[in-house]
Chain A
């Protein structure tokens, strides 16, 4: 084949591929949705939960409005290739389950569409008041940052409203130790920070209290309460102790009412949707 006709054939093949991926050939097909449910359980439920309502890690996919995928074709691309910089892996690389065929991906999309709730379930709460609380009386911003504003000691929360369910966020505030670095499976282990509480005493007797940023059997990186980062070798420490009690204070209904918490969650969800 000469060079030019080869190029034309190549362009045509790409165009055909793109056209094929532009719409879901199984859209609205109930049988495909059922098959997609099986595939979803095998490949997606680990993070997104049974029924696509979201797990501790993956967003609730029953929300009609998705942060990254605005149509079926984009959803297909995301399932195939993952979302760089997030825990969402490319097809076949999550270590659980198998890689999916194109047909199986379309089945999953059909299933997700069949589960969507059109009315947003998150309309409760006043995000403007939530923002006031976040940066004010609730003291969230002392440790947490959103879009560059706030503290570094706790997890960065710009995306949390998109990536966690409402229930998971509420639970994290009411019972902070519950979800602490829980059950990280290998494919998603590359979370930058695990937030175990840690106390280390150096050889010269200096006590460092904070959270672990990164740890292996021989070294640890700690951020202390003043946001100073300490890079330590464990065998040079006098003592080293980690705890699964979160450094975050537990917010009871006495310190933060359900209504105020709803407002904060509404603020986080509104920021996550941006």
Chain B
């Protein structure tokens, strides 16, 4: 198996940085735009995320998942940290614009990544209002309290939906990972 772009960066591959920006720039930019308070904030966040990627490439473990999910994890950590520090500022998107993103149907996400396919399969089992909570929290960066306000839903319900959704996706990923390991 050829090394991933992160493994190549860690080993000093001279083309890996360019390849990483090419392959994952859109992913990082997409996450940054959604989870930032302003366009300029998204640009700053993107640069910080790539700096985190350069610093963290050596810690990537292919046995724990794809490089794409590793990069998404790094990006989300940075973006959540930035959001938390600027939580007093209003979100970039107005209230009425935060309800449209629908989830990919199971079977169509495998081109994105193995993990995305697992996630969409797990999400397909959730009720629409549960998916909406995950969408607002994980794709738009709203806090659980903000979601409760937006959806006029008790905070406890929001927490419960978020909890069940993440646990369900986690179960799918771990089961599949164990199956892969056992078959390997």
A joins B in a complex: no
